[in-house]
Amino acid sequence: MAQPTADEPLSRRDRARVETFAEIKRTARRVLVGGEGLALRAVAREMGMTAPALYRYFASREELVEHVVADLYDELCDELESARDAARPAVPGVQLLAACREFRRWATTHVPEFGLLFGSAGDVAEIEGPAEVAGQRFGAVFATLVAQIWLDRRFPVPAEEEIDPALAEQLREWGAHIPVQLPLGVLRVFLSCWVRLYGLICMEIFGHLKFALADAGPLFEDELRRLGDLLGIADQYVSADRA
């Protein structure tokens, strides 16, 4: 049977299939976010379907999880890109700070989703498929801004020969897969900044800072200020209230 082209309207049957596909993903997200773990029977039960019927849409539980993860990445990226594009003045440093703040805001208001993306289920994004593509979009938001800052500011970076050879080899391999080609020293600084930013957010979300802090916001802002020093954009840092 011939498939409809992009210019042809979907048939009623095709529309129903698309709508069911989307509903399954929404239901799976509710089940996963609810902390119950994902069982196809639970998804089918909520939708009034049989579990075997779900296999007409997704070949396996893993494929369904991958699509849910991809949708979450896209949702997060939409928010990051909106914050980036709304930042004023529209310069890379200010845009990066805005994206970092939005990442924390999304994480703190979507704790179960954050756990799904960046906990064990986030490993799905490592396999080839929709989640991998969406994960690359997420990484590109930050990598592109750091690359633009580097081109504008030329912040201090270690020379390639100063980087441990085993680390340099891994950085070189990673750099070949990011959308912007950067010197190894820039990758080293970028990775260090990312570890600090991401690590702090993870510790806050998973409750590992409660022993010292009731509110991690001031520490996050202090770390942003320090990252600004590393990336040569200290003059573009403004407090969250002023931003």
Same domain, 140 and 178: yes
Based on the domain organization, do 88 and 54 belong to the same domain? no
Does 243 fall in a domain?
no
pLDDT at 120: 59
Distance CA 38, CA 236 (A): 44
pLDDT at residue 229 tops 60 = yes
Q: Tell me, yes or no, whether 118 lies in a domain.
A: yes
Domain span holding position 36: 1-58
pLDDT at 236: 95
Percentage with pLDDT > 70 across the chain = 92
Q: Is the pLDDT of residue 33 over 90?
A: no
Model confidence over 65-110: pLDDT tens digits? 899 999 999 999 999 999 999 999 999 999 999 999 999 999 999 9
- Pick the last residue of a domain from 58, 92, 107: 58
Q: Count Cβ atoms within 10 A of the Cβ of residue 95 and give its class: 0-12 exposed, 13-18 middle, 19 or more buried.
A: buried
Look at the chain and report how many structural domains it folds into. Answer: 2
State pLDDT tens for residues 50-69. 888 998 999 888 899 899 99
Mean of pLDDT values over 6-21: 79
What are the φ and ψ backbone dihedral angles of 82, each rounded to 5 degrees?
A: -65, -45
Residues 130 and 84 grouped into a single domain: yes
Token pair for 55: 């296999």
The two three-digit tokens of residue 161, written as one number: 């020969």
242 in a structural domain: no
Q: What is the pLDDT of residues 149-208, one digit of tens each?
A: 999 999 999 999 999 999 999 999 999 988 788 999 999 999 999 999 999 999 999 999
Residues 82 and 144 in one domain: yes
Asked if 65 contacts 205 with a C-beta cutoff of 8 angstroms, the reply is no
Q: Which amino acid is at 194?
A: W
| Lookup result for tokens 């991401």 | 198
